[in-house]
A and B are shown apart, each in its own frame.
Chain A
Amino acid sequence: IAGITQAPTSQILAAGRRMTLRCTQDMRHNAMYWYRQDLGLGLRLIHYSNTAGTTGKGEVPDGYSVSRANTDDFPLTLASAVPSQTSVYFCASSETRTGELFFGEGSRLTVL
């Protein structure tokens, strides 16, 4: 059972470049999320999607965009990367009723 698959696992990126982090789930969960994890700050929600075709902003959405064309895929795009976006990014999904999240293994992004 794959669960949540994220790609790439690690990437070094020049500032100003565009980058898309991919996330695919095979659990048919309606809700999907993107979090960033930074030392001392825990996990902060960037964007979420309650169902295919809808998205919403989380706590730290600036500089990021998402789309949800279907149930399984939820890519996160950095239109013009900045060094402050250096972080570990986690994609997650949930069955809305319980709120329990299932996480991918993370994508480590370094912006120079």
Chain B
Amino acid sequence: AQSVTQLGSHVSVSEGALVLLRCNYSSSVPPYLFWYVQYPNQGLQLLLKYTSAATLVKGINGFEAEFKKSETSFHLTKPSAHMSDAAEYFCAVSDLRGADGLTFGKGTHLIIQP
């Protein structure tokens, strides 16, 4: 069985500050890992994904994430927050088959302070 834990249901940062959203996973097989973003009243949009290639993954809008097997983590970062980054962020895990969908974390609401 696989699971995802996102630390912090709400994270608040100042505009221009570092964004760090934490994700730890549990998986019985080597995982695929994903970060999705959801803007208000919209569906989920893929930010980036790890599929066993490079451990540092770059995504859209300046976000990146690093897969650390020893820590079972896949934290999402962005060097400088913009007001437009305010949204809900979801970490998700899949096994190599990907056949039964993704298991999602409960989400982290990112608040950007002006």
Interface digits, A43-79 against B, CB 8 Å rule (1 contact, 0 not)? 1110010100000101000000000000000000000
Partner of B90, one of A40, A43, A58: A43
- Option from B36, B43, B97, B104 in Cβ contact (under 8 Å) with A104: B43
Count of A interface residues, CB-CB < 8 Å? 28
Q: Is the CB of A42 within 8 A of B104?
A: yes
Residue B106, interface by CB 8 Å: yes
**Interface residues in B63-114 (C-beta closer than 8 Å to A):** 90, 92, 94-95, 97-107
Inter-chain residue pair count (beta carbon < 8 A) = 71
Whether A50 touches B105, Cβ cut-off 8 Å, given contacts A42-B90, A106-B43, is: no
Scoring B43, B46, B99 by chain A CB atoms within 10 A of each residue's CB, the highest score goes to: B43
Interface size class of B (residues with CB under 8 A): 20 to 34
- Which residue in A40, A97, A98, A101 is a CB contact (below 8 Å) of B101? A101
Q: How many angstroms from the CA of A31 to the CA of B103 in the assembled complex?
A: 15
Is A11 interfacial (CB 8 A cutoff)?
Answer: no
A105 within 8 A of B: yes
A38 to B58, CA, bound (A): 29
Identity of the chain A residue whose Cβ is nearest the Cβ of B32 in the assembled complex: A99
Give the chain B neighbours of A42 by CB distance below 8 A: 90, 104-107
Contacts of A101 in B (CB 8 A): 34, 44, 46, 92, 101-102
Bound-state Cα–Cα, A75 to B49, Å: 28
Q: Chain B residues with Cβ under 8 A from A4's Cβ?
A: 43
User: 24 A-B residue contacts at CB 8 Å?
Assistant: A31-B98, A31-B99, A31-B101, A35-B101, A42-B105, A42-B106, A43-B44, A43-B90, A45-B101, A45-B103, A48-B101, A50-B100, A58-B100, A92-B101, A97-B98, A99-B94, A101-B44, A101-B92, A101-B101, A101-B102, A103-B36, A103-B44, A103-B45, A105-B42
